[in-house]
Amino acid sequence: MSTGVSTSTDKIIVDRSRSHRNKAVSKAVRATRERLQSSTKGNQVFDRDMLGMHVTSVLQGASVVPLFVVLVTAVGLYLDSDPQFLAWALLMLSVHALNVFVSRRANRKEISATEVQVWRRRLMAAQLLVGVGWAAFALQSCDGCSGDTYYFYKGAVLLLAVSITAMSSFMLRLGMLIGFLPTVATLVGIAVFSRSALDIGMAAMCAVAVVFFHYIGDRLYRSNLTLMSYQSEKDDLIAELEVAKSMSDEARRRAEEANLAKSRFLASMSHELRTPLNAILGFSEVMSSEVLGPLNNPTYKEYSGDIHRSGQHLLNLINEILDLSRIEAGRYDLAEEALSLLEIAEDCIGMVQLRARGKSITIRQQFEPELPLVWADEKSMRQVLLNLLSNAVKFTPQGGEVTVKVGWTAGGGQYVAIKDNGPGIPEEEIPVVLSAFGQGSIAIKSAEQGTGLGLPIVQAILAKHDGQFILRSKLREGTEAIAILPATRVLQSVPAVADAPAVERRRKSFA
């Protein structure tokens, strides 16, 4: 398994407990969607909005019906000068004015949820009165008209009336169908009594037109209902997102305050801890070395050695915590210079060589020759390699082997890989060991337990260098840690002067 270092200095560990944090938001969103997906419940929720849209449509088209009535009356008087057309026009304008009056009152009043059905019945009654006016037009006849002219005139007027009513009242469900029932009933009655083919055709045409426009209006009503449902869902989701964002901002503010408090605590406690530790380390070393004279009881000498080792362990822990805190706070400055990874690797191997020989561990080197220098912080890179080598030696069993490789990466950068044949790390524990104070099950059982800060510091330092840290491990097969510096950190070599003698790379040897 390969795990790359994050560009952030935070711990790269998978937090599987985060799924429960937004349960309230998810529950609310799910409830909203279930509420909106039910058509019956959706009708009840948006009835008031639909009534409002119907009222707006009636008021906006209030001048269309009077103009249409005036035009129909003018054509009727042209065909026949019978004053019945004027009486019908007065009736039609009156019922239309009543319809507009009811709509205007509904528009001015804030309709509550309990009053929706009351106002819906009022608007339906006004629509029915308009239908009665068109039924009165259907009852009219033209004695002075010749041929089929009047039938064509009446059919055209009724079709236009049906279409105008359907477009203005489709937000009032069943409004157009109920409004033109009197007209259809009147035409059917005329056709039954007259038994004329023209009257039967007129009634059938009007009935078909009413059914067709009712179907179209119902589809438009459902489409608007769906759009309003989506709009409501979007508004609910936006509200939930705003709540979640405010909660996130509050959590971030508290985290920043806690981080600031932690930094202040570490800054104030570093001096308070190091001062007594220096005294403990110094006096315990003097006592264990018997500088001022021999100790009468050998147990005291053993105790002083334990005190010194414990103090040294505590000092190392404090230094690592402070290093990690500085990196997280962005106060870890790099003193970059040209350096050789080969020389640093050799120095670090020499530092852990004595400890490796104590466990009969063989450290093998596989270095690519003549690697160019890299631009990096020497102290930080030494800390990286020492941490990785110390871990390899710590977890490699007696008589084991550690391999250190330094070479080129495929992208033109340089890498240092440290591989051991120790017990390895289970794949599911790799995110744990890469977190601060995280230790695997094997490290916990080991007698040489560490602080759990080595690998987080390594990956944070490499991130500061724009590099990458990869940890590969398999249980009972060993672990390989790879520190990579990018190609931008590799310095280009300048061609050597012909007369200058070649300078061999300095090699070190350790006892």
Nearest to 405 by CA among 457, 470, 336: 470
- Tokens 């009727």: give the residue: 76
The DSSP bridge partners found for residue 338 are 375
- Answering whether pTM is above 0.85, one says no
The token pair that represents 374 in the structure block:
């890299």
Interior/surface letters 289-315, b for 16+ CB within 10 angstroms, e for the rest: eeeeeeeeeeeebeebeebbeebeebb
pLDDT band at residue 351, thresholds of 50, 70 and 90? Answer: confident
**Which pLDDT score, from 0 to 100, does residue 508 have?**
55
Q: Read off φ and ψ for residue 169, nearest 5 degrees.
A: -130, 20
Q: 426 with 410: CB under 8 angstroms?
A: no
Mean pLDDT of the chain: 79
Dihedral angle of Cα 286, 290, 292, 298, to the nearest 10 degrees: 120
Q: How far apart are CA 219 and CA 202, in angstroms?
A: 26
DSSP states of 351-382 as a string?
HHHHHHHHTT-EEEEEE-SSPPPEEEEHHHHH
* CA nearest neighbour of 483 among 466, 470, 464: 470
Buried b (16+ CB within 10 A) or exposed e, 319-356: ebbbbbbbbbeeebeeeeeebbbbbbbbebbeebbeeb
Give the chain's largest Cα–Cα span: 145
The DSSP H or E segment spanning 166 is: helix 149-169
Taking CA atoms, 283 is separated from 158, 297, 308, in Å, by: 113, 17, 9
pLDDT of residue 17: 41
Q: Give residue 190's pLDDT.
A: 86
pLDDT mean over 49-73: 85
Question: 322 with 266: CB under 8 angstroms?
Answer: yes
pLDDT digits (tens, 9 = 90+) for 443-457: 555 545 556 677 888
Q: Higher pLDDT residue, 476 or 90?
A: 90
Measure the CA–CA gap between 164 and 88, rounded to whole angstroms. Answer: 18
Cα-Cα end-to-end distance for the chain: 37
> What's the pLDDT tens digit per position in 308-350?
888 877 777 777 777 777 676 666 778 889 989 999 999 888 8
| 111 Cβ contact list (under 8 Å, min separation 6) | 48, 51, 52, 119
The rounded distance, in Å, linking the Cα atoms of 75 and 92 is: 16
Question: Quick one: pLDDT at residue 418?
Answer: 92
